[in-house]
Amino acid sequence: QLVESGGSLVQPGGSLRLSCAASGFTLSSHWMYWVRQASGKGLVWVSRINSDGSRTGYADAVKGRFTISRDNANNMFYLQMNSLRAEDTAVYYCARDILSSSSAWGQGTLVTVSS
């Protein structure tokens, strides 16, 4: 099971950290992802991190502003979001192994960037 938290209303230019708590499996064995979905729009890949945190990737739209990280010891992983913009407003999903049979998704957390 994956449970996201940390979504809220934030002003443009502000920061937010999303968390994803994993249970029922060993986080350290899996690639982890963040995917977002604006209201009424499609899925957009945001970031991914490999099992030991040594490899990360970011969508161009968030590169330099967002940072993905993980704490395998506590079965948690994170998305630090800085310099937030209105276009970052979306439901953010954490997911496991998007490209393999063990794919699993959380229920999402809403981030709203507005003044």
Partner 1 sequence: QSALTQPRSVSGSPGQSVTMSCTGSSSDVGAYSSGSWFQQHPGKAPKLMIYDVSKRPSGVPDRFSGSKSGNTASLTISGLQAEDEADYYCCSYAGSETLVFGGGTKVTVL
Decide if residue 35 touches partner 1 (CB under 8 A): yes
The amino acid at residue 33 is Y
Least CB distance from residue 36 to partner 1, whole Å?
10
C-beta of 14 vs 44, nearer to partner 1: 44
Q: The tokens of 30 are what?
A: 């899996």
C-beta of 17 vs 55, nearer to partner 1: 55
Decide if residue 25 touches partner 1 (CB under 8 A): no
Distance CA 14, CA 114 (A): 10
Q: In the window 74-93, what residues touch partner 1 (CB under 8 A)?
A: 93
SS3 category, 86: helix
Nearest to 22 by CA among 51, 42, 45: 51
Q: The tokens of 80 are what?
A: 């630090």
Which residues form the interface with partner 1 (CB under 8 A)? 33, 35, 42-45, 48, 55-61, 93, 95, 98-101, 103, 105-108
